[in-house]
Structure formats: structure tokens, C-alpha cells
Amino acid sequence: MFSLKALDRARRILDACKAASLKLATAESCSGGLIAGCLTSIAGSSAVMERGFVTYTDQAKTELLGVAKDLLRSRGAVSEEVARAMAEGAIAHSPADIAIACTGIAGPIGATKEKPLGLVHLAAARTGRPTLYLKRSYDVRTREAVRLEAVDDALGLLLEQV
């Protein structure tokens, strides 16, 4: 299911986190747990992977990650600001040192002119460092393809934080 590139990145992330004694969390919306799934498909991931939050609704983002309701109302769940708040919230609401967040429009419904199918916002946070951000607009036609592309890019962004 996961690309060889994603699996290689997952191994590299886990090795780097283990070497640095870092615990990892994921905060996922449109990817629905696939980032955590890719990471935990690697044997020994339990030495690094602390937890995964699948926060599909605004309520879950608020309750589990502490994303402000006002931010969700003003910027929408699919935004840079919410992706950053999700990643930072995953660290604040867990013993993790590093976190990756993903929010977007996987489709086939939910897209608008301003937020089209394939739009994904990603953020990687690490204690004591600035949060990294990446915006992608995938030119793909299926929900699964958007989600798998997001996994690849999330792991790439996470590699920059380890």
C-alpha cells in the first residue's frame, strides 16, 4: 500500500528519533491515520511512536489537540494555521517531542473553489524549534491517491524536523 519512498522515509525517521531519544506523535485529518500506519508498519516503531490522533472533525481537533474554535471558524479546518495548531497541539497533549499534522480535502466531496480537491496542509513541530509547514495541491483524481501522496509529503516534512 505505501510507496517504497514512504517506507524508506519512515525507517529513516524512526532511526533518527530513536538515536535522539525522541517520541513521535501524529495528528491526522484527511489522511485518517495513514501516516501513523506507515510509521508503525516498520518493526521496532514502538520505541519511537508515542501516539496518533485522528481528528476528523472540528470538535475532535478542539478536544484532543486544543485547536481553538475561533481559529477553526475563521480559517477553516483546511488551512495553514490549523495544520500548525494540530502539530503543536499533538506535542502539547502528549509526551511526544515531535509531531506531524495533516489536514486537507481528499474528496470526492467537500471541495470548493477556494479549497479544491487535493489541497493539503502539513505541519511538523518539534519542541524547541520552529514549526515547519508545507502546502500541496495534488493533481490526482481519487481519494486514496490524495491520502497516499499526503503520507509521502508528511514523512518528507517530518524528516526535516528530526
| Cβ–Cβ < 8 Å for 93, 27 | no
- The pLDDT of residue 56 is 93
Q: Is 154 exposed, middle or buried (0-12, 13-18, 19+ CB in 10 A)?
A: buried
Q: For 103-161, what is each residue's pLDDT tens digit? A: 999 988 888 888 888 999 999 999 999 999 999 999 877 899 999 999 999 999 999 99
Could you tell me which CATH class the domain 4-161 is placed in?
alpha beta
- The pLDDT of residue 5 is 94
Distance between CA atoms of 41 and 48, rounded to whole angstroms?
A: 13
Q: For 64-108, what is each residue's pLDDT tens digit? A: 999 999 999 999 999 999 999 999 999 999 999 999 999 999 988
- The pLDDT of residue 4 is 94
Q: Is 106 exposed, middle or buried (0-12, 13-18, 19+ CB in 10 A)?
A: buried
What is the per-residue DSSP string for 122-143?
Answer: EEEEETTSPPEEEEEE---SSH
Contacts of 155 (CB under 8 A, 6+ apart): 6, 9, 10, 13, 35, 38, 39, 100
Determine the average pLDDT of the residues in 38-63.
97
